[in-house]
Amino acid sequence: MKTVRVLFIAALITGAFLMVGTRNDLQAKAGALKEISLPASLDSFYPPQSGQPVYLMSMLKLETYFSGIAADIMDNDIQGARNSFDEFRAQYMKILEMVPEWKGYYPVGPVDKLGAQLKEGDPGQVMEAFGQVGGICHECHISTMVQAQQKYHWGDFGTVKVTDPLSRESVDYALFKKFLSTNFAGISVNLGQGQPEQARKQLAGFRARFQALKGTCENCHDQENKYYVDENVEKTLDSLEKALSSTKVDPQAAGALVQSIGRQSCSKCHLVHVPAAMANVR
């Protein structure tokens, strides 16, 4: 049994190294793309070069002024809309100068057209011009937002270490997740094989590692709520443990609880985090 365990762990480690190789390839490709789409001058407006995400904060201010125009128009407050436009245009011109390589994303003509329509005061014409400026924002976001979020917001999962509660060893995050998923799969496999005692052992391993997984969330999240590893998932795990502790285990009922954990915790977390983890180049 010990030999089998050693071989199994060796296979997981080999898989992890292959994942690292694939990850390195993805990093290289993503890095090449980002070098094209994200100019170096943008770095000065984000940590660590800047204490705050200055560019993002500037864009949020721009959006507030822009939406203010529409809000005033809907309130039939044309003068208020003109005031919001003046603030919007001043902020627009300020941001235009922040990243010289991106000046092409900030054409001034449509903005001035919006200002001219606001002077005329026809709400229909104003909103048409407003939509054209909104299209400028949309095109820039499509071209640059995802890359900027991945580079400046997402951390590098490759730097995360986890103390495995079963082996008491510090392991890479990718390998730890392999251990976790093996426990999770083992619950269903053993249930299907009519081995409830083995399923209970796999659940115990999964729960211990799940608690360790929750600790890794704190590398990025500082909120009380841990999202997809919160108390709702814990309650489902409690229900699964109770189902597996019955004198006569109902495989279908227990299996449904396993699927619920997979859908509500594992799958949703992966949909959020895996794309960024695969593309991150830091």
- Among candidate residues 152, 187, 213, the one where a domain is terminated: 152
Each residue's pLDDT tens digit, 254-267: 999 999 999 989 99
Residues 6+ apart with CB under 8 A from 102: 39, 42, 140, 144
Domain interval for residue 249? 156-279
User: If you search the block for the tokens 């951390």, which residue do you land on?
Assistant: 155
Mark 130-140 as b/e (b = at least 16 C-beta within 10 Å). Answer: bebbbebbeee
Task: Give the confidence band of 53 by pLDDT, cuts at 50, 70, 90.
Answer: very high
Same domain? For 59 and 135 the reply is yes
- Asked if pLDDT for residue 5 goes beyond 60, the answer is no
The pTM (predicted TM-score) of the whole model is 0.66
Amino acid at 30: A
Q: Long-range contacts made by residues 47-55, C-beta under 8 angstroms, separation at least 24?
A: 47/152, 53/152, 55/95, 55/98, 55/99
- 148 shares its domain with 163: no
| Domain limit, last residue, from 152, 170, 201 | 152
**pLDDT per residue as tens digits for the range 143-174:** 999 888 888 887 777 788 999 999 999 999 98
Which helix H or strand E contains 171, and what residues bound it? strand 170-172
Average pLDDT, the chain: 85
Query: Over the stretch 176-224, which tens digit does the pLDDT of each residue have?
Result: 999 999 999 999 999 999 999 999 999 999 999 999 988 888 777 766 6
102-153 confidence digits (pLDDT tens): 999 999 999 999 999 999 999 889 999 999 999 999 999 999 998 888 888 8
